[in-house]
Every structure is written in C-alpha cells, then in structure tokens.
C-alpha cells in the first residue's frame, strides 16, 4: 500500500475496494491518534 510521510503525519492509501471506494488511514505519530476515511473513487 502506498505510504506518504509528512512531518508527524503518515497517510496510507488503498483502493479502489468494494464499491469503487478509496481508503485512507491518517496517523498522527505525535499523539498516536488515527482516522480512517472511506471516500468515493470517482467524483459524482
């Protein structure tokens, strides 16, 4: 999976999966918090 590191943030991307959605996992290394984003693969 592609990984982007910028300062304290790491973004891991995957997709398209399922119904053509893209997945993003955003991790803040300084706090240990993370967010999971499930976004449409194509603009509506």
- pTM of the complete model: 0.77
Position 2 scores a pLDDT of 92
**pLDDT for residue 28 is more than 80:** yes
What is the domain count for the chain? 1
**pLDDT for residue 15 is more than 90:** no
Domain encompassing residue 32: 3-40
Q: What share of the chain is helix, strand, coil (3-state, %, to 5)?
A: 0, 65, 35
- Tell me the Ramachandran region of residue 2: left when phi exceeds 0, alpha when psi lies from -120 to 50, beta otherwise: beta
**pLDDT for residue 44 is more than 70:** no
**pLDDT for residue 10 is more than 70:** yes
Q: Mean pLDDT over all residues of the chain?
A: 89
* CB of 44 closer than 8 Å to CB of 36: no
Position 18 scores a pLDDT of 75
């Amino acid at each position: 999976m592609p990984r982007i590191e910028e300062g304290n943030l790491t973004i891991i991307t995957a997709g398209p999966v399922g119904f053509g959605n893209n997945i993003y996992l955003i991790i803040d290394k300084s706090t240990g918090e993370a967010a999971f984003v499930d976004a449409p693969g194509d603009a509506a």
